[in-house]
A and B are shown apart, each in its own frame.
Chain A
């Protein structure tokens, strides 16, 4: 439980230090707003169209596959820590687990779900 005193401190000061920098800057730096200055940068020309574009589904798919393997990786942590006590049974168990996932991975690869197009 004592661990979290440290984390709370780091969280608090981790926010406070950057904030201090920004507050200091507020006193030191000039403040001259200007409509041209506040336009969006687009290589010196006026912005064209809207910023929001529809992105391709492939981003979503990669994120989906990542989520699945992230969950898998989470199971690997307690397994790896307890590996010495688990011995052969643990090894076989994890190999079955990984094999099932690898079937899915191979399927996704084969179906070109992992292809960047």
Chain B
């Protein structure tokens, strides 16, 4: 009991520092990387090549006034950032960085990791609602709608992994990937999981809930100083968690030749992070109807297909990331899904070029001019 308490205390301390440090690194990395994508340098002034920029920003945020709008619901406004950050912080209990380098391996680890962050939706909603600001409320409602749509593909992607490995314990899942990463056997689940994770983490191009250029930051328009930075911290901690989970579930975690396990884990995690930033740099933001349609008419059917195919393949060809039939099934599902998606996303008329699902004649969206649609509060 005492021993566990000490281990837990040390674990909390280490994890908190790792998360805080990762956020500092990630913010700088993102600014530098996006800068390069756009033919500029990114921050250059503070420290050599601007490497101290985020430290300076963090100090600045600590010195900023923390005020609450006069018409806001004070208590809920001040509570909301906690409800956002705590559920994002909790999964780190059971994210293993290397063999033995985990605070606590849970038997139901994967379910725990996908279940707990959902509660932060309440935090976002409260932030938007308590602010008494139209943009904030719109952002809050949009975030809840996005979460409602992308939680299912995320869960069902995770279930695909469980079907092949037969366990919810993350350490056991990684250990099974010693020879073959799950990427091949669960390619559809990998894509669903990564994209849904990005959508739930409010990452561009799925950040309709934040959308700086239209609703100026969504749920946290009215926040400033430390409380605002808690949202920011939650977003980047979420990016790190999503990338780490993707690396653990699909890319074989710390498995790899020559280099120490921890290095492999970090290399894979940061590779996923770079992909997430890269998508931000190159993709235009999806409209909310496109976002919802992509989830409900694209991802959820694909997730179902993946479950059925994986189920059949495991039944006949046996479980495990290296099972040839499972790999074949995964690749076939991906091919079919991508073909179906690109067919559905094909623009029909020049006047109707949209990234969402091409509309049929008779569809309300196509026939009615946008301004005339009733309740056009997306």
Contact = CB atoms under 8 A, between A and B. Distances in A.
A and B bound? yes
Given A15-B82, A73-B156, A76-B156, A22 B168 contact: no
A7 B159 contact: no
B372 to A, nearest CB: 12
B41 interface: no
B73 to A, nearest CB: 11
B111 interface: yes
Given A25-B225, A35-B70, A17 B375 contact: no
A91 B312 contact: yes
Interface string B51-77: 000000000001111111111100000
B377 A56 contact: yes
Interface stretch (B126-134, B257-265, B266-274, B343-351): B126-134
Interface string A62-79: 110110011001001100
B360 to A, nearest CB: 11
Interface residues of B, number: 84
B138 to A, nearest CB: 9
B117 to A, nearest CB: 12
21 contacts: A10-B93, A14-B90, A18-B85, A18-B226, A18-B233, A22-B226, A29-B66, A30-B65, A38-B70, A39-B69, A39-B71, A41-B69, A54-B375, A69-B300, A73-B156, A76-B155, A80-B159, A91-B312, A115-B363, A115-B364, A115-B365
Interface in B118-176: 131-135, 137, 141, 144-145, 148-149, 151-152, 155-156, 159, 162-163, 166-168
B299 to A, nearest CB: 12
A87 B332 CA distance: 23
Contacts of A70: 151-152, 155
Prevailing SS type, chain B contact patch: helix
Interface in B204-231: 216, 221-222, 225-227, 229-230
Interface in A17-73: 17-19, 21-22, 24-26, 28-33, 35, 37-43, 47, 51-56, 59, 62-63, 65-66, 69-70, 73
Contact of A116 (B162, B167, B288): B288
B151 A40 contact: no
